Structure 1
């Protein structure tokens, strides 16, 4: 991280160090690692997956890139919705098999139009939606609402 005009920016990781870091990550049998994204206030926004290529791109560009398991391709957050995530910090857990990303989120993180994907509370009376969408999925994606 670097600080410029009171705005924290991601400092790209150069190839020799990037290769070393990627070698330490414990990807699962599908070649993936779970990635939790939180905002600057530490509010959890979402959980997604990264493969080696997505993690390398994220660490070198500072723009968060995930791996879409359903489409089996890289998913650059915000490429269709404009709701981009800029990386501020990245950490691995103690087992080196889960990432915690601190991001500057532009707009909403959830494909339902909510700031966070974690809006469903499990209660003794059932499932309760804690928040309404900030923007409709149609406004984010047009007629297409896939995740």
Structure 2
């Protein structure tokens, strides 16, 4: 049963014009976690999750999605660019802006961005997302993010 100010996965999908499958996909990527899961296994989302989803959908609509950023990292890695090269720093800046857009109204600091970089190689789900663009891309992304974090 819905509590005031929350929606089931089906309701949220309907009011935002997306699908419950897309919402589950965002959850598996760690982008949109449900605010609670009912005893029946149903996912429920609150106002904060709705705002986060709206930012994700806006970024996707603008073409600034993580998939495009991951592909750019993969191309840079395949081209042999250094993680701290100007070209890769620009990709990492876009990545940082993408992360910041979903960071609950504030920008991640150096330690937070570096922690995210380490998670990309430590968590096999994140590593697989990047390594599908070429073996070693997750480590390359992490190195690029660590270099970028030094200037935050």
TM-score by length of 2: 0.25
TM-score between both structures, scaled by the size of structure 1: 0.26
Answer with 1 or 2: which has the greater Rg: 2
Higher strand share: 1
Q: Which has the higher helix share?
A: 2
